[in-house]
Structure 1
């Protein structure tokens, strides 16, 4: 998928996390939440042949500070957003909306 998500204020967050938290704990939170996001996206994915669902992948990047969900299915973006001929069947956005609250909560626990 070519669409991305931008998080503002990451430099402040990273500075605060570095100051009072073990970075390996942060990396574990990123990995766990990324894995849960992947599982949710797979759960919400529409299934005809199952190719889309099977090809939602998680990659951990930026030295463990970034979790990226992507799909090898060339039509994944059309399923997510639709076309002028059909409405979309979002699977990544609902998964993200669900997971972001847990991710924020997990990071807040680390900062206390």
Structure 2
């Protein structure tokens, strides 16, 4: 209800959650990059081949460059059987030196890397 009030939207149904502490993330998608704010997150899509140590090779550059992962979620690849795609959220902006360095190394290890975007972190 709070988002509807802030943005002047019509509420179609109230109190539909099954957990009273439930929260929902809303995204604004655009084609223009957002500059660093100092309190940013970056979302990535990373694909790896199914081989020993593949996930470790994704995580290791993040740890070495001090980039904190706040979410990692795996999905089967639609392109190759037994390959996986990971959706990852990290703290920091793609223009931050440590994030850029980690992503450069990650790109060398991944079969595919796509930066979905950097954006200011939520205040919630």
Q: Which has the larger radius of gyration?
A: 2
Structure with the larger strand share: 2
TM-score (norm 2): 0.29
TM-score (norm 1): 0.32
Structure with the larger helix share: 1
